[in-house]
Amino acid sequence: MADTLESVYSFSVETLDGRVARLADFKGKVLLIVNTASQCGFTPQYAGLEALYRTYKQSGLEVLGFPCNQFGGQEPGTAADIGMFCERNYGVSFPMFAKIDVNGEKAHPLYRFLKKEKPGLLGPLGS
């Protein structure tokens, strides 16, 4: 949840293993925040995201993955399933967070904030 809606760093999010992570811990880094799904046509994005992360992590890039099951039920697994899939199939080492909603009434406050701050940037599904 957000302490204030001043910046992305105001939010705390749950990790795949149930811990709370503060986005303030990423302050000073470039954040690429993506919603993901393990069973969709874009699933190979994990390989590209991981390559990007490994290439630029030392330069301050952080890829933050947020699984979402809102698009055709393409992320039905548990947190443990998601973590194992990402690691086993794509060697994902960037931070992955608990499954969230990115649209609608139950959209995570972080995604509500992102869409409010940059309308249209998230594409037609993000508006």
- Is residue 19 assigned to a domain? yes
Answer with the residue of higher pLDDT: 6 or 2.
6
The number of distinct structural domains making up the chain is 1
Residue 74: pLDDT band (50, 70, 90) is confident
- The CB density around residue 21, as the number of other CB atoms within 10 Å, is 16
- Is residue 50 assigned to a domain? yes
Q: Which residue type is seen at 5? A: L
- Annotated catalytic residue 68: no
Active-site annotation holder among 32, 40, 61, 107? 40
pTM metric for this prediction: 0.84
The answer to whether 63 and 106 are in contact (CB under 8 A) is no
pLDDT digits (tens, 9 = 90+) for 19-72: 999 999 999 999 999 999 887 776 788 899 999 999 999 999 999 999 999 988
Residue 121: pLDDT band (50, 70, 90) is low
Q: Which residue type is seen at 116? A: K
3-state DSSP call for residue 17? Answer: coil
Calculate the average pLDDT of the chain. Answer: 87
CATH number at residue 19: 3.40.30.10
Best-predicted range by mean pLDDT (3-12, 82-91, 115-124): 82-91
- Mean pLDDT, range 79-107, rounded to an integer: 92
Q: What is the pLDDT at residue 3?
A: 43
What is the distance in angstroms between the CA of the first residue and the CA of the last residue of the chain? 21
Q: Of the candidates 122, 33, 41, 52, which has an alpha carbon nearest to the alpha carbon of residue 93?
A: 52
CA distance 125 to 104: 11
Q: Which residue range forms the structural domain that includes residue 95?
A: 8-118
